[in-house]
Amino acid sequence: MDGMSDIERLVAIAEIQRLKARRDRALDTKDWATYEALHATDHVSHHGSAHDGGRMGSAADVVRQLSVSLADVATAHHSHTPDITFESPTKANCIWGMEDNLYWKQGDEDHWAHGYGFYHETCEKRDGVWLFTFRSLKRTHLMTSPGAKFGAERVAARSKSA
């Protein structure tokens, strides 16, 4: 039992859903101050492979890595069908279905990536506010344009040509 009434649980679910919506919007608009504020300072993200961004060990590190890797990329993230369970009134585990679309120039060519999968996240209520404390992206499908360099490979290629 998580020690929450039905009303407390529903309010917490609504707050966590709003947190996720704000995160996706901040990411797609590259509002890095808001993005960082939605994460606990000790947040950890793991995106599984170098192509997906790898491990990021703090909220500031997440923002630093994403702001570099997405600097010239237009993105559209959609998170849906939340599965939110509570360990306690101040800790929740969340799984979100996700879809993302990314668009960038590689030299003179337009490129894209379209992915599907799941975000596995932990949120904690700290000082009365829900924050992300952990995220792992598990892609189930990724399509890219022919010849596209994606994620860390794209950043490395861009750095070499600069």
Nearest 5 degrees, angle CA 91-CA 98-CA 77?
105
Residues 6+ apart with CB under 8 A from 140: 116, 117, 118
Of 70, 146, 131, nearest in space to 101 by CA: 70
The answer to whether residue 46 sits within a structural domain is yes
Contact 36, 62 (CB under 8 A): yes
Q: Domain containing 17 — which CATH number? A: 3.10.450.50
Report residue 114 as tokens: 């379209």
- Counting the structural domains of the chain, the total is 1
The answer to whether residue 103 sits within a structural domain is yes
d(CA 128, CA 145): 44
Helix (H, G, I), strand (E, B) or coil at 28: helix
Report residue 32 as tokens: 């890095």
Range of the domain at 131: 6-161
The answer to whether residue 1 sits within a structural domain is no
Predicted confidence at residue 9, as pLDDT, reads 97
Give burial (CB, 10 Å; 0-12/13-18/19+) of 94: buried
Global confidence as pTM: 0.88
What pLDDT tens digit does each residue of the chain (162 aa) get? 578 999 999 999 999 999 999 999 999 999 999 999 999 999 998 875 444 456 667 899 889 988 988 999 999 999 999 999 999 999 999 999 999 999 999 989 999 999 999 999 999 999 999 999 999 999 999 999 999 987 666 566 655 665
Residue 45: other Cβ atoms inside 10 A = 24
Residue tagged 């994620």 (tokens): 151
The answer to whether residue 49 sits within a structural domain is yes
The answer to whether residue 149 sits within a structural domain is yes
The answer to whether residue 10 sits within a structural domain is yes
The answer to whether residue 78 sits within a structural domain is yes
Contact 27, 10 (CB under 8 A): no
